[in-house]
């Protein structure tokens, strides 16, 4: 069970942590895209790749890291919702953003 943390502390710490990790993961995804020319063939290729990247983040964050960092209650989160959030509300928009920044035509 998670430790008792005041809401006034949990909200800003959670927001800053998620923002920082999202930024870090986005930079990592952009670096991977810059190193793998096949991912830049089309906007659709890039969007599919970043959606898969989001799925991999979900797997790492909910099936590997909780035990490593001593937070087993992370596994109590609704997994289907977390999969959707990571894959389609993080990975897909990241791909759309990168595709637009790279000037890839919509295909």
Say if 23 falls within a structural domain.
yes
Say if 50 falls within a structural domain.
yes
Tally of domains within the chain = 1
Helices (H), 1-107: 7-35, 43-59, 65-68, 79-86, 92-101
| Full residue range of the structural domain in which residue 80 is found | 9-101
Q: At what angle do helices 43-59 and 92-101 cross, to 10 degrees?
A: 140
Say if 1 falls within a structural domain.
no
pLDDT at 1: 57
Of 5-14, 57-66, 88-97, give the range with the top mean pLDDT: 88-97
Return mean pLDDT, the chain: 93
| pLDDT per residue as tens digits for the range 40-55 | 999 999 999 999 999 9
C-alpha span between 35 and 107 (Å, rounded): 21
The CB-side HSE value for 97 (13 A sphere, CA atoms) comes to 13
C-alpha span between 103 and 101 (Å, rounded): 6
Residue 102's pLDDT band (boundaries 50, 70, 90)? very high
């Amino acid at each position: 069970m998670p430790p008792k943390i005041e809401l006034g502390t949990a909200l800003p710490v959670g927001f800053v942590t998620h923002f920082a990790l999202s930024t870090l993961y986005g930079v990592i995804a952009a670096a991977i895209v810059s190193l793998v020319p096949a991912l830049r063939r089309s906007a659709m290729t890039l969007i599919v790749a970043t959606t898969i990247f989001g799925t991999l983040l979900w797997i790492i964050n909910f099936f590997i890291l909780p035990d490593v960092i001593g937070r087993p209650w992370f596994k109590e989160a609704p997994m289907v919702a977390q999969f959707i959030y990571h894959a389609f509300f993080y990975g897909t928009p990241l791909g759309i953003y990168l595709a637009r920044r790279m000037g890839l035509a919509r295909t």
